[in-house]
Chain A
């Protein structure tokens, strides 16, 4: 920020923390960030593909909202990302860095795939669906409890632990694919119950993704209430801020860590069910598809702004463009919080 030489007449840029900023100004900064990111993207697009960037952007918008089906796909992707982020929020509020959503999703997805394969055609659909949702949540929960237990009792590093649990989950999926292979030798599971649609989410609101949207909305409302109005939500916020204060207040820190990760893992496991039973109807190692990580950014941004999900972070957008956009969006928060002033030194 500053240069060290003590010559006169130099210009210095100085950083100051803003105490408050008008809503209008904050959104102007964010909008500028989006525009800037689009310009940078355009340069990258021209440099790599030599295509007209405006056409590429038109293509992205077409891909996201070009038809009724595409709109539903965009909505589906958005709500799944949202529910994972909602699952991460309690853990993050507790300052438990759960990088293991990916694995928790895979375990939830595996549980629902198993139920679809073994019971999907035997049980009536409502029973099967309830079972799928409950069991996948439990599966994600188990994957969340393990690192939480070690954090609570042995103070292990949860970031590394949850990250490594992802690899274990991936290998378990590989193992399950060997068992569930269909057709034999394809090394994939294929679409499960493609004829009977056993265990598939039914159409709601005229779309096969309607039920997912409904579930995500309910979960989001419940978690929001849990975080803001329940004693549990209060306790986990205190633990996140300072375990010393929590002990002082007579809170059982170990219990809170384990309890919160149960919830976080369960919601991520549920997301696995939404992906497998509600959308892809198959399971593979890429079922989570990096959403567990992208959702971290969503959860992170929800702390200050709730816009991440409003930008179509969908599968049709190129990863580069998403990356640049996110970089600018997160980066611009610096300018929302700080202002820069320029000083000029006068001659003595």
Chain B
């Protein structure tokens, strides 16, 4: 039984213009197994899976499901074949309950019997060991509960083949363990599962086999029991990579940013930051951990002069002895810049806040500098030179400096943004998810840049999601939970488990 192939991809190619996202990829999924698809960002994992779920259509090649060659043109075609995909970004309606979201879009009899539906859902959840209340509204759910709804939705529609796109990216270590238990129980019930990820330890923990993609090409498939972290990395990157971050001892540490009793409400009036107090030092990297959406974004934006502050103070110390103090909480981004405070910020939403997608690299460099040139006309010479330097130093892959940054891959977009922010020799450097979307080599290049800034005496604040990385990159880690500081730990002594507990522990029912 276990040797039946439920999915066979043969020589599948997908191009986007000149870019070949998938180049002659072959892949098989056996019945009742968990297959990991491993690859760096931009290696074509998601594109490949989107062709199975009907979002993209292959340019060449064939797809067989249960031995029969098929054309999958729409997500509905995929459902008809029993393929269900759980996307990285959930597609749920907040004001509806879990059960309502699950049956959304299904045809049925004219009369809707919600009780019957909830009973069916309960049967499903108890069968696989999910923890879900069908009548709970989505907006009151945590990220992991929402993910459960997405998975149950797919199962309820009778999917036999499940595809999960980076399911653990938004989960705490504890929640990840729970998800893996459920996946194993589904496998034991005969479901076939594909899980996309780039976290090696998870691949080794959960999967039966691993298929590796690199730059759109299919590299090979190995049984997980024969693989190690090192062998998989080598397959992914194509060469041996050392996975060490060169963390130096903090030197010349002095107080740079002090936050006192900060309270922030967002546009909808939610109290997103509650009584935040901490100090960030020059010559040190302060990590900020937390489940996404627990105030990280607002905290950095508040310091950067982009949030309305309800109460509290944010102080900037130019000198250690505290002679010159600027009150950042009274300033907007433009005021901070006009005062000559070199505060750099790499926001989470790169194309929505840090960069202008339709403009080229030169024009994006100008965002920070165009005000400096005299007169009413813009000076494009200096930004053009800077753009060239950034492209060269950070190895940005771009057809030309005149290419709109929207056309670049996620990793290259990030390099452009980080390159610009570091170029001003910042005194304070705030980065949110700096390596999201970057391949391993680029990620380590970015970590090294952060360490360089730390040694140069900058006060670095880094919001991150990979706890292993935060523990080996930062000097101290501040954990946010429910908009409060639930703890500040020494990164050299703390553990993933401690951080995981702090991430959920401080949560309130506010």
Instruction: Decide yes or no whether A310 CB sits under 8 A from chain B.
Output: no
Within 8 Å by CB of B18, from A19, A232, A234, lies A19
Is A231 a contact of B371 with CB atoms below 8 Å? yes
- Chain B residues with CB under 8 Å of A47's CB are none
Contact of B352 with A4 in the complex, beta carbons under 8 Å: no
A230-B378, A231-B371, A250-B337 as given contacts; A343 in contact with B16, CB under 8 Å: no
- B358 contacts A by Cβ under 8 Å: yes
A325-348 near B? 1/0 per residue, CB < 8 Å? 000000000000000000101101
Confirm or deny: B57 has a beta carbon within 8 angstroms of a beta carbon on chain A.
Answer: yes
Contact with A along B360-395 (1 / 0, CB 8 A): 000100111011000011100000000000000000
Within B1-36, the residues touching A (CB, 8 Å) are 16-19
CB contact under 8 A between A245 and B353, given known A2-B73, A4-B74, A348-B69: yes
Are B367 and A249 neighbours in the complex by a CB distance under 8 Å?
yes
The answer to whether A247 and B333 touch across the interface, beta carbons within 8 angstroms, is: yes
Query: Measured between alpha carbons, how far is A245 from B354 in the docked complex, in Å?
Result: 6
A232 to B377, CA, bound (A): 8
Inter-subunit contact B333/A248 (CB<8 Å):
yes
B residues neighboring A (CB under 8 Å):
16-19, 57, 59, 64, 67-71, 73-74, 76-77, 80, 304, 306, 332-338, 345, 347, 349, 351-359, 363, 366-368, 370-371, 376-378
Known: A20-B17, A237-B359, A248-B347. A12 touches B354 (CB 8 A): no
Contact call A6/B80, Cβ cutoff below 8 A: yes
Having A234-B366, A250-B334, one finds 5 other A-B pairs with CB under 8 Å, namely A14-B57, A231-B371, A231-B378, A238-B367, A245-B367
B332 cross-chain contacts in A, Cβ below 8 A? 247, 250
- Least Cβ–Cβ distance between A229 and chain B, in angstroms: 5
A242 touches B353 (CB 8 A): yes
Say yes or no: A250-B71 contact (C-beta < 8 A), given A231-B377, A231-B378, A245-B356.
Answer: no
**What residues of B have a CB within 8 angstroms of the CB of A343 in the complex?**
57, 71
Tell me if A231 and B356 are in contact (CB < 8 A).
no
A126 to B51, CA, bound (A): 69
| Total A residues in contact with B, Cβ cutoff 8 Å | 34
Of B335, B337, B352, which is within 8 A of A242 by CB?
B352
**Contact check: which of B74, B349, B356 meets A238 at CB < 8 Å?**
B356
Quick one: which of A17, A241, A248 contacts B306, CB cutoff 8 A?
A: A248
Task: Name, among A1, A229, A241, A250, the residue most crowded by chain B CB atoms within 10 Å (CB to CB).
Answer: A250
> Judging by beta carbons under 8 Å apart, are B356 and A250 in contact?
no
Measured CB to CB, the nearest residue on chain A to B17 is: A19
Q: Report B-chain residues with C-beta under 8 Å of the C-beta of A4.
A: 74, 76-77
A16→B21 CA distance, assembly (Å): 14
Inter-chain CA distance A251–B338, complex, in Å, is 11
Residue A244, interface by CB 8 Å: yes
Chain B nearest Cβ from A98, distance in angstroms: 20
CA A275 – CA B77 in complex, angstroms?
Answer: 58
Of the residues B57, B338, B352, B378, contact of A250 by C-beta under 8 Å: B338
Q: Compute how far the CA of A65 lies from the CA of B225 in the bound complex, rounded to whole angstroms.
A: 82
Cβ contacts under 8 Å, A70 to chain B: none
| A18 interface residue per 8 A CB criterion | yes
Chain B residue with the shortest CB-CB distance to A228: B378
- Which B residues lie within 8 Å of A51 (CB)? none
Known contacts A19-B18, A245-B367, A251-B334; decide if A229 and B71 are in contact (CB<8 Å): no
Q: For the complex, is A156 an interface residue (Cβ under 8 Å from B)?
A: no
